[in-house]
Amino acid sequence: MKKLYIKYAFQEIHQGQRIFDIYSPELVTAQQDLIFISKNSAQEVALVNAAKQKLLLLGMTNEQVNQAIKTGKPFYSLPVYSPYDGHVHDVAHSQMGGVGDQKAASNFANNLPLAIKEGMYVEKGQTLFNVVNPHMLWAIIKIDRSDMAALKLNQAVKITLPDMPGKIISGKVNFIEPVLQDGDKTTSIRVYLDNMDHELKVNSLVKAEIQTGQTKGLWIPRSALIDLGRTQIVWLKKGAAYQAHQVIIGGINGNEIQIKMGLAITDSLASNAQYLADSESFIKTQSHE
C-alpha cells in the first residue's frame, strides 16, 4: 500500500472519498494489455471489452479505465475511493458494541490507529477494514422452528427496545434466512430499519412482535391451564365444585392460549389453575374424549 488517507478507527468517511493508493503489478499489467489492444486492435470490440471488464473486476472505476486508454499510461499508484458512507473499523474491532455511535470525536487522537499501515503488503481478497453505516441497520430476530409455518415476507413487525421504554419501531419481515445453523433450534429473520435519527445503536437488544394473522377459536388465559407435559388440564366447574379436565391446546398469543378440543364456549373455568392443583387431581382427570 503506497498511501493511506485514513488513520484511525471510528473515522468518518463518505462515498467517493479517496481512502488509499495502492500499487499492484497485476493491475499495471492488465492496464498495459488494455492500452496495447486499444491502440493496435481497436476493431476487436470483444477483446477491448474483456480487457476493460478485467480491470473493473480488479477494482478500477470506469473513469480510471477510460483515463488509462485516453492517456496511454497505466496507473502505477492507483487511487481507491470509498463506495460507502460510514465509520471505519478495524476487522478485529468490527463486532464491538457501539460501532454505530455517530458522535465519535472529530479529533481522532484518542482513537486507536488502524492495523493497516502505509507500505504494508496486502493480498488479493484481504479485508483491510470495515465500514459501518449507522443510518441503515437491520434487526436480527430469532424465530422458533415451530412458528416458521406462519411466517411470511412483508408481515408487520413491532420492535421495542428494553433500554428505551415506550419507543416503538414499526417494520416488516424483509428477509427469512433459508439455512438453519447446525444445532440451532431457531431460524433468523431480518427487519431493515431506517436509523437516520441515530437512536439505535449497533448490537442493541430488541424485542419483536410479529402479526402472523388471526386464528378463530376458543381462547382462555394461560393461567387457567396446567401443562403436565403430555397432558394439559383445566379446572372445569361442575355444579358447586371444580373438576380437573383434559384439553388439547393450539397456539399461544401473549397471555392467552387456544383450546382446540375439550371445551365448549359455555363451560366455566377456574382462572388460576395452579391454585386448585394437587397430586390427586393430576391422576383423576376427566378426559375430553
- Residue pLDDT, tens place only, 85-122: 888 888 764 433 333 343 444 444 456 888 888 888 98
CATH of domain 218-283: 2.40.420.20
SS3 state at 282: helix
Q: Quick check: 18 and 4 in contact, CB under 8 A?
A: no
Taking residues 262-284, report their average pLDDT.
72
Q: Which helix (H) or strand (E) holds 247?
A: strand 241-253
Q: Quick check: 247 and 222 in contact, CB under 8 A?
A: no
- Is it true that 136-210 and 218-283 share their CATH fold? no
Burial class (CB in 10 A: 0-12, 13-18, 19+), 174: middle
What CATH superfamily classification does 136-210 receive? Efflux pump adaptor protein, beta barrel domain (2.40.30.170)
Cell numbers found for residue 186: 431457531
Closest CA to 4 of 107, 120, 90, 92: 120
pLDDT of 277 = 66
Scan for cell 421504554, then name that residue. Answer: 165
Q: What is the mean pLDDT of the chain?
A: 82
Q: Quick check: 83 and 133 in contact, CB under 8 A?
A: no
pLDDT of 38 = 93
SS3 state at 19: strand
Backbone conformation region of residue 10, classed left if phi is above 0, alpha if psi is from -120 to 50, else beta: left
Split at pLDDT 50, 70, 90, the class of 49 is very high
Cα(5)–Cα(232) distance, integer angstroms = 66
Query: What is this structure's pTM?
Result: 0.51
**Model confidence over 118-177: pLDDT tens digits?**
888 988 888 888 888 877 788 899 888 777 777 888 888 988 888 888 888 888 999 988
Cα(7)–Cα(16) distance, integer angstroms = 17
Closest CA to 192 of 153, 151, 137: 137
Domain ranges of the chain: 3-132, 136-210, 218-283
pLDDT of 99 = 38
